[in-house]
């Protein structure tokens, strides 16, 4: 037993000579962050995200998700990646530097897992056929928002992979197995296919966090035990990072009626009374609210959304609108009321998501400086709107905020062959989806909206559609799409709610 421990320790020290992140300027110490430590940083980020509810719906994978996440950058141990920084070339493993043609490290990583490491991973998934495991590993390797390239199964050494790379990859997997000790899980192929999308999104997000400045470079010579590094260094920094970037869950406030959200409304409209008092089904909900302009549809939708949040059937809201102008106007309306959705000691962000959000002064004035803490309400009155700086940095991240307002295309990109589609799906799956002015979209966007509703229902999310006038054909199309996602027959109309 002691001899085995010594061998593992020597193996980890050898693997720590492979760089994962290197400083572009000379004179910094340490000059690089080992790839093995970066893998553990990102694994720690995924563990904290799991604790914060970001892997809801994939509970059976909890025992193995940090380990799977750690495998995401195994391609960085390849000859092709290491040659990008000659001053940190691992000569002890690869010999004299001799440049080779290669692929992206995410693709190379998948090839290494596919051709050279499957036998090490199969015991973790004893019920999963090989093709199902490959599908899951494809999600793990595609951590830069797009799938890795395929290679022929009969070709064990595709571009950039050689015998030494294969040996090193197996050593990495062996080392991570010993450090993270994943427990075997029962996973069928159909279930693996379904969870592969949220797994891809979670690993995308964990890699962003694990690559942030909250994880400083650590010298390989400072590491004596990888398990100690993971537990006492990576995990605490991951908790700090997740809170700093605004991804901590914000607890909802108990639902107290329309007046609790909008104290200025003295006399509710009929649709607002309906939203406040109607009985809601327990499964994912699709509500269609059709009323005249000025009838109070937006407030009714927020009431429904708050009821769902208070019932723990969502952790946030995204409001999609047809134009940047309408999105900006909705952002201004919600700025005064969104904090009423959450507990007084919560610190939720409100983000604007569209291509020119950075030009909207109403939004940019609420963005906190990088590193500044989110403001908590004093309980007597909600604090003003705010957004963590990290969440405000681009449309993709804005979808991760507790409350997002944006153009509908930001949500539709989650069901199109676009980069980071899985991350967008992950962000939206935790939210009540509110789509305003549904009648305003053309036939092409209606088809995309139907696909979005189907995907959202399959992920367990609820949606609320608003319109002044909706054709029967479009209503049926959207109902059918949502029901298809739930894998149930289309339900009947029941007071504006469809489930």
* Residue where one domain finishes, among candidates 198, 222, 244: 244
The CATH code of the domain that includes 300 is: 3.40.50.300
Give the three-state DSSP class for 28.
Answer: coil
Domain extent at residue 405: 258-498
pLDDT tens-digit readout, 258-277: 999 999 898 999 999 999 99
pLDDT tens-digit readout, 298-351: 999 999 999 999 999 999 999 999 999 999 999 999 998 899 999 988 989 999
Say whether both 278 and 167 belong to one domain: no
Give the three-state DSSP class for 219.
Answer: coil
Say whether both 225 and 285 belong to one domain: no
Supply φ then ψ for residue 253, to 5 degrees.
-85, 150
* Residue where one domain finishes, among candidates 219, 244, 269: 244
Counting residues of the chain whose pLDDT is more than 70, the rounded percentage is 91
Residue 379: the pLDDT is 45
Residue 493: the pLDDT is 36
If one compares 494 and 396, the residue with the highest pLDDT of the two is 396
CA-based end-to-end distance of the chain? 57
pLDDT tens-digit readout, 339-355: 999 998 898 999 999 98
Residue 267 domain-assigned (yes or no): yes
Say whether both 194 and 169 belong to one domain: yes
* Residue where one domain finishes, among candidates 244, 274, 300: 244
Say whether both 194 and 281 belong to one domain: no
pTM for this structure? Answer: 0.91
Say whether both 36 and 93 belong to one domain: yes
Tell me which H or E stretch contains 318. Answer: strand 316-321
All residues at 6 or more sequence positions from 443 whose CB lies less than 8 Å from its CB, including other chains: none
- In terms of DSSP bridges, do strands 19-22 and 32-34 run parallel, antiparallel, or are they unpaired? antiparallel
**Nearest-angstrom CA–CA distance, 373 and 389:** 10
Q: How many angstroms separate the Cα of 333 from the Cα of each of 77, 246, 406?
A: 50, 22, 13
Q: How many angstroms separate the Cα of 199 from the Cα of each of 128, 141, 418?
A: 16, 11, 17
pLDDT tens-digit readout, 365-404: 999 876 555 656 544 444 568 999 999 887 788 899 999 9
Residue 375: the pLDDT is 58
Residue 239, pLDDT above cutoff 90: yes
* Contact predicate 433/460, CB 8 Å: no
Number of C-beta neighbours around residue 494 at 10 A = 12
All residues at 6 or more sequence positions from 423 whose CB lies less than 8 Å from its CB, including other chains: 145, 200, 201, 204, 205, 396
Say whether both 315 and 239 belong to one domain: no
* Contact predicate 117/161, CB 8 Å: no
Say whether both 57 and 206 belong to one domain: yes
| Domains in the chain, number | 2
């Amino acid at each position: 037993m002691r001899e085995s421990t010594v061998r593992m320790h020597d193996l980890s020290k050898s693997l720590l000579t492979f760089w994962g992140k290197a400083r572009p300027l000379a004179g910094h110490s340490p000059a690089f962050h080992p790839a093995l430590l970066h893998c553990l940083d990102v694994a720690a980020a995924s563990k904290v995200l799991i604790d914060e509810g970001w892997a809801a719906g994939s509970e059976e994978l909890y025992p193995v998700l940090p380990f799977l996440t750690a495998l995401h950058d195994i391609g960085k141990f390849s000859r092709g990646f290491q040659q990008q920084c000659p001053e940190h070339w691992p000569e002890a493993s690869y010999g004299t530097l001799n440049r080779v043609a290669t692929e992206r490290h995410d693709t190379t990583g998948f090839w290494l897992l596919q051709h050279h490491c499957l036998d090490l991973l199969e015991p973790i998934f004893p019920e999963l056929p090989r093709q199902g495991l490959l599908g899951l590993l494809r999600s793990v390797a595609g951590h830069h928002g797009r799938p890795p390239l395929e290679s022929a199964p009969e070709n064990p050494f595709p571009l950039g992979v050689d015998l030494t790379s294969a040996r090193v990859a197996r050593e990495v997997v062996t080392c991570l197995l010993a450090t993270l000790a994943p427990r075997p899980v029962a996973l069928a192929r159909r279930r693996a296919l379904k969870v592969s999308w949220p797994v891809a999104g979670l690993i995308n997000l964990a890699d962003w966090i694990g690559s942030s400045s909250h994880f400083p470079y650590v010298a390989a010579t400072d590491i004596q035990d990888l398990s100690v590094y993971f537990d006492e260094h990576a995990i605490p920094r991951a908790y700090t990072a997740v809170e700093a970037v605004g991804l901590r869950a914000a607890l909802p406030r108990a639902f107290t009626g329309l007046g609790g959200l909008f104290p200025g409304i003295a006399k509710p409209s009929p649709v607002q009374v309906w939203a406040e008092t109607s009985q809601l089904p327990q499964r994912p909900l699709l509500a269609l609210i059709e009323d005249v302009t000025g009838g109070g549809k937006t407030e009714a939708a927020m009431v429904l959304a708050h009821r769902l949040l208070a019932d723990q059937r969502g952790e946030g809201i995204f409001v999609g609108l047809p134009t940047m102008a309408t999105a900006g106007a909705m952002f201004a309306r919600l700025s005064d009321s969104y904090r009423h959705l959450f507990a007084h000691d919560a610190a939720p962000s409100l983000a604007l998501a569209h291509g020119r959000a950075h030009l909207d002064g109403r939004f940019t004035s609420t963005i906190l400086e990088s590193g500044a803490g989110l403001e908590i309400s004093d309980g007597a009155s909600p604090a003003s709107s705010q957004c963590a700086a990290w969440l405000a940095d681009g449309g993709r991240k804005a979808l991760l905020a507790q409350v997002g307002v944006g153009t509908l295309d930001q949500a539709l990109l989650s069901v199109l062959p676009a980069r980071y589609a899985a991350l967008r799906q992950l962000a939206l799956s935790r939210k009540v989806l509110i789509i305003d002015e549904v009648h305003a979209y053309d036939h092409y966007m209606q088809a995309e909206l139907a696909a979005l509703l189907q995907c959202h229902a399959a992920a367990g999310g609820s949606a609320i559609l608003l319109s002044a006038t909706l054709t029967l054909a479009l209503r049926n199309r959207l109902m059918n799409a949502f029901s298809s996602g739930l894998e149930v027959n289309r339900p009947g109309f029941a007071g504006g709610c469809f489930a």
